[in-house]
Amino acid sequence: MFADLIILLVMFVLNGFFSLSEMAVVSSRRNRLQSMLSKAHETGAQTTGIETALRLQAEPGRFLSSVQVGITLIGVLAGAFGGATLSAPLAEVLIEIPRVGPYAAQGSFVFVVVVITYLSLIVGELVPKRIALSNPEAIASFIARPMTAFAKALSPVVTLVSKSTEGVLSIYGFTGANVQKVTEDEIRHLIAEGAASGAIEQAEGEIANRVLQLGDMRISEIMTPSINMVWLDRDAPIDETREIIFLTQNMRYPVRCRDTGRAIGMVRIEDLFVET
């Protein structure tokens, strides 16, 4: 019976590996994988895993089919094996209990199925997926090659499942060719996350947000035509300069030469007060 429990545990671990693989590849960000690939090229590190993970992302249909084949196969085997090997010994114990004995066979089978389902859910699904979400890109790079080998080993079955899925989807008019593009709101959200986590400086985040705002602004909102600019003449009397500042109340002024009209610099209003 101990050996049977070990076999079931191995099945749960394999189920967890497939769940881990699925969540890691699906939740990985392609730009992060490409960044990891660039760094690996620069440092001379191994790139096969990252490149394979990128290929799996490029063909998610076949990858998901191979994962589902593995999960379903292990689930069926675990249920059948557990019911066949564990329910009988448990029934021998239950049959000795008064009022329970007549239902020992059915009760032991139901109990074994419930326990196997619970352990499969925790060990084979939820825990691996939580682990995958903690560092999806690194895990995807690690499991990419074993999953590719598994898909090749069961290529006929994986191909059948993949083609069948595509056929059903085509009935509903879904080809899977539409790829979601990154939106401006998603970029802003990433900038906010980076600033909150300290990955980017607050000032850098503000600059990036301002860059995104440029596309929604007219050029006249950020630049003033030269004919509408308020100039200060370098050789103008101080009273004339004060009057211009009083009427316009800008923080900075371009300065020009009165004779030629050529711009010679900028001056801040606080500097003018210091000088006067």
End-to-end CA distance of the chain: 97
φ, ψ dihedrals at 176, nearest 5°: 80, 10
Local confidence band at 126 (pLDDT 50, 70, 90 cut-offs): very high
The amino acid at residue 257 is C
Is 224-275 in CATH node 3.10.580.10? Answer: yes
**pLDDT one-digit tens code per residue, 230-276:** 888 888 888 888 888 888 888 888 888 877 778 888 888 877 665 55
Decide: pTM greater than 0.75.
no
How buried is 73 (Cβ within 10 angstroms: 0-12 exposed, 13-18 middle, 19+ buried)? middle
pLDDT at residue 16 in the model = 93
φ, ψ dihedrals at 200, nearest 5°: -130, 150
C-alpha 121/C-alpha 180 separation (Å) is 31
pLDDT at residue 181 in the model = 67
Structure-token pair, residue 123 = 């060990």
**pLDDT one-digit tens code per residue, 6-51:** 888 899 999 999 999 999 998 998 888 888 899 888 888 888 889 9
Which CA distances in Å does 65 have to 58, 132, 142, 159, 188?
Answer: 14, 19, 19, 8, 34
pLDDT at residue 244 in the model = 86
Q: Give me the residues paired with residue 232 across strands.
A: 255
pLDDT at residue 18 in the model = 94
Local confidence band at 133 (pLDDT 50, 70, 90 cut-offs): very high
Report which of 52, 19, 23, 15 is spatially closest to residue 145, judged by C-alpha positions.
52
Ordered by start, the domain boundaries in the chain are 2-171, 184-219, 224-275
pLDDT at residue 1 in the model = 66
